[in-house]
Amino acid sequence: MSQNTAVRNRLSQTVASLKPSGIRRFFDLAASMEGVISLGVGEPDFVTPWRVREACISSLERGYTAYTSNAGMLELRKEIHKYLEERFAVSYHPEREMLITVGASEAIDIALRAIVDPGDEVLVVEPCYVSYEPVIRLAGGVPVFLRTNAEQQFKLTPEELEAHISPRTKAIIFCYPNNPTGSTMTAEEWKRLLPVIEKHDLLVISDEIYAELTYGRRHESIAALPGMKDRTILISGFSKAFAMTGWRLGYVCASPDLLTGMLKIHQYTMLCAPVMAQMAALEALRHGQEDMERMVESYRQRRNFVVQGFQEIGLACHEPEGAFYAFPSIRSTGLDAAQFAEGLLMEEKVAVVPGDVFGDCGKGHIRCSYATSLDQLQKALERIGRFVQKQ
Amino acid sequence: MNRERQLELLRLLEEDGRRTAEQIARLMAVPVAEVEETIATLEREKVIVNYPALINWELVDDHPYVTAMIDVKVTPKRDVGFDEVADRICRFPEVQAVYLMSGVSYDLSVVLEGKTMREVATFVSQKLATLDSVVSTATHFILKRYKHDGIQFEDRDEDRRMVVTP
């Protein structure tokens, strides 16, 4: 018996068949090198605002170290309710329709596990966050990918959606503003999708973790559109807007029947989110608005800076309207995304992520996070420019 | 340029006064000429007063200097109140800042810089305390600067992120 066979027998077939993360290889390579400028980071470069850290320290001093209710502190859920209403005109009841999770990642997992039966198809809008496909498979579902492209600013169209629906289709999952493209959807663009969603009675998992990082206009949640709240599972968290990635705190909002299902999984696996992170999140929502706005302004300025930089280098790049990623095309170099990323890393010590890691329609693109200092961005653009000229 | 954009421009300059109009235009995604014109207007209107560098002199060898904060109690004068004596104090080149204070037992807070403590003491006793309106002074020397003009001098917040993450 070969070693691989032995491993396969010990692991479940589902887990054994999952592909390892495409990002991992680049992480290992980049981490082994000195002097790398990293545009590969999917998290804010700001440290969590001091007032939030201080609130956590203070809560520990006061002895808040115990479990909270399974759904999370009611005080925090009420604050999230107020925040969602004020910022995005979305209203979920804090006691019946809201659950605090260990990051938005857990929220995605329990949402899928709560609704998917073996063999159910879940539509995934590509390019997408690397976890969606494996988490769908772990839930027993079958991912079906919907393509988007740079010509249409990576927005989902009703035609693409309709074309992939089958009798087994249960739900659709997407993230707007999008990781890795930075693309977002307007209310009008959402409205064009509604007839298809309603006709096929789809559930919608809307990952809105980057909602606050929308530039030049307010983020439009699909849950805010008429008739959509009851079929939408809204997922968000504190990682991106409040620079709290390491705190692992997210939340999920859904109608009571769906939420009850998710709560069951959550209470049997996580029990509850960490109380110290919940205390910190409370402070972030109550007093962290200015800190957040300062960070968002900085991301927007850097977005302007890198997009112009890529265009000057000769890499076509649509203007991302949200998140903190640029997704330029590298087709003009004749290299594929992995060759480009690896060559750039080895020759110029700039780490970017190949676009096809996020799905087939990310081919020919690289993901560049601009959540890093302007000085670093300037240097990175100079190095990328030099690398492109050599091709 | 509208008010919101003007504020953004001011914040960019406050963050780094060396930024050129070209750099600012790029960050804000507006034409360079618009940035130049707005900066000129803001300078004319004295909204932008100066472009100083914030220097941590404690890190500069052989450049000893001391900073003192002096509480000054004064007798205000008819018609001109505190303004006349404050204006006189402002004119001394050693004086870095003068503030009229409320809610304390003195009236003016004066920030003073000198090469030595003796130099500061001499200034206070010979120039400041001898002004007609000055009733009393109390001098406090700054021992170490931790934060100034919103900038923390020894910021320990390093980038602790991994090189590549999802």
Which amino acid, one-letter code, is at A375? D
Q: Provide the CATH number for the domain formed by B57-145 in this structure.
A: 3.30.70.920
Strand B66-74 and strand B134-141: pairing? Answer: antiparallel
Residues A359 and A240 in one domain: no
Q: Which of A28, A47, A129 to mutate to test the interface with B (most CBs of B within 10 A)?
A: A47
pLDDT at position A5, please?
Answer: 60
For B28-41, what is the mean pLDDT? 97
A265: tokens are 């999984």
Dihedrals phi, psi of A179, to nearest 5 degrees: -100, 115
What SS3 state is found at B108?
strand
- How much is the mean pLDDT over chain B? 91
Nearest-angstrom CA–CA distance, A200 and A335: 40
User: Are A145 and A129 spatial neighbours (Cβ–Cβ below 8 Å)?
Assistant: no
User: CB distance from A301 to chain B under 8 Å?
Assistant: yes
Q: What confidence tens digit (pLDDT) does each residue in B155-164 have?
A: 767 788 888 8
B152: tokens are 């923390």
Chain A residues touching residue B161 (CB < 8 angstroms): 38, 41, 43, 45
Distance set, CA A353 to CA A133, A368, A386, B125 (Å): 18, 7, 18, 66
Question: Which CATH architecture fits B3-44?
Answer: Orthogonal Bundle (1.10)
User: Are B164 and A40 spatial neighbours (Cβ–Cβ below 8 Å)?
Assistant: yes
Nearest-angstrom CA–CA distance, A301 and A297: 6
For this complex, say whether ipTM is above 0.90. no
Residues A102 and A247 in one domain: yes
pLDDT at position A30, please?
Answer: 85
Residues A261 and A374 in one domain: no
Number of domains present in the structure of chain A: 2
Whether residue A204 is contained in a domain is answered as yes
User: CB distance from A21 to chain B under 8 Å?
Assistant: yes
pLDDT at position A7, please?
Answer: 59
User: CB distance from B18 to chain A under 8 Å?
Assistant: no
User: Are A261 and A115 spatial neighbours (Cβ–Cβ below 8 Å)?
Assistant: yes
Q: Which residues of A254-269 are buried (b: 16+ CB within 10 A; e: fewer)?
A: bbeebbebbbebbeee
Chain B residues touching residue A297 (CB < 8 angstroms): 8, 11
User: Are A113 and A125 spatial neighbours (Cβ–Cβ below 8 Å)?
Assistant: no
Residue A329 maps to which CATH number?
A: 3.90.1150.10
pTM of the model: 0.89
Whether residue A143 is contained in a domain is answered as yes
Nearest-angstrom CA–CA distance, A203 and A205: 7
Verify whether the Cβ–Cβ distance A304 to B164 is below 8 Å.
Answer: no
Nearest Cα to Cα of residue B127 among B93, B96, B101, B157: B93
Q: How many contacts, defined by CB atoms under 8 Å, are there between A and B?
A: 56
User: CB distance from A299 to chain B under 8 Å?
Assistant: no
Q: How far is CA A156 from the centre of its chain?
A: 16
Q: What confidence tens digit (pLDDT) does each residue in B43-52 have?
A: 999 999 999 8
Name the residue range of residue A296's domain.
19-48+289-390
Q: Half-sphere exposure (CA, 13 Å, Cβ side) for B56? A: 12
- Residue spans in chain B of domains classed CATH 3.30.70.920: 57-145
Q: How far is CA B92 from the centre of its chain?
A: 16
Distance set, CA B58 to CA A254, B16, B148 (Å): 57, 21, 13
Distance set, CA A135 to CA A130, A305, A375, B87 (Å): 9, 35, 37, 70
User: Are A94 and A238 spatial neighbours (Cβ–Cβ below 8 Å)?
Assistant: no
Verify whether the Cβ–Cβ distance B164 to A305 is below 8 Å.
Answer: no
pLDDT at position A329, please?
Answer: 97
Residues A217 and A283 in one domain: yes
Name the minimum distance, in Å, from the CA of B162 to any CA of chain A: 7
Strand A350-351 and strand A37-38: pairing? Answer: parallel
Nearest Cα to Cα of residue A219 among A172, A173, A184: A184
Whether residue A148 is contained in a domain is answered as yes
The answer to whether the bond into A177 is cis (omega within 30° of 0) is: yes
Residues A322 and A265 in one domain: no
Q: At what angle do helices A275-287 and A74-88 cross, to 10 degrees?
A: 40
Residues A139 and A190 in one domain: yes
Q: How far is CA A367 from the centre of its chain?
A: 13
pLDDT at position A196, please?
Answer: 98
pLDDT at position A2, please?
Answer: 54
Residue A269 maps to which CATH number?
A: 3.40.640.10
pLDDT tens string for chain A (391 positions)? 455 566 558 999 999 999 887 777 777 888 889 999 999 999 999 999 999 999 999 999 999 999 999 999 999 999 999 999 999 999 999 999 999 999 999 999 999 999 999 999 999 999 999 999 999 999 999 999 999 999 999 999 999 999 999 999 999 999 999 999 999 999 999 999 999 999 999 999 999 999 999 999 999 999 999 999 999 999 999 999 999 999 999 999 999 999 999 999 999 999 999 999 999 999 999 999 999 999 999 999 999 999 999 999 999 999 999 999 999 999 999 999 999 999 999 999 999 999 999 999 999 999 999 999 999 999 999 999 999 999 8
Name the minimum distance, in Å, from the CA of A30 to any CA of chain B: 7
Final residue in a domain of this structure, among A270, A287, A304? A287
Final residue in a domain of this structure, among A287, A302, A329? A287
pLDDT at position B78, please?
Answer: 86
User: Are B145 and B76 spatial neighbours (Cβ–Cβ below 8 Å)?
Assistant: no
Q: What confidence tens digit (pLDDT) does each residue in B68-122 have?
A: 999 999 998 888 889 999 999 999 989 999 999 999 899 999 999 998 999 999 9
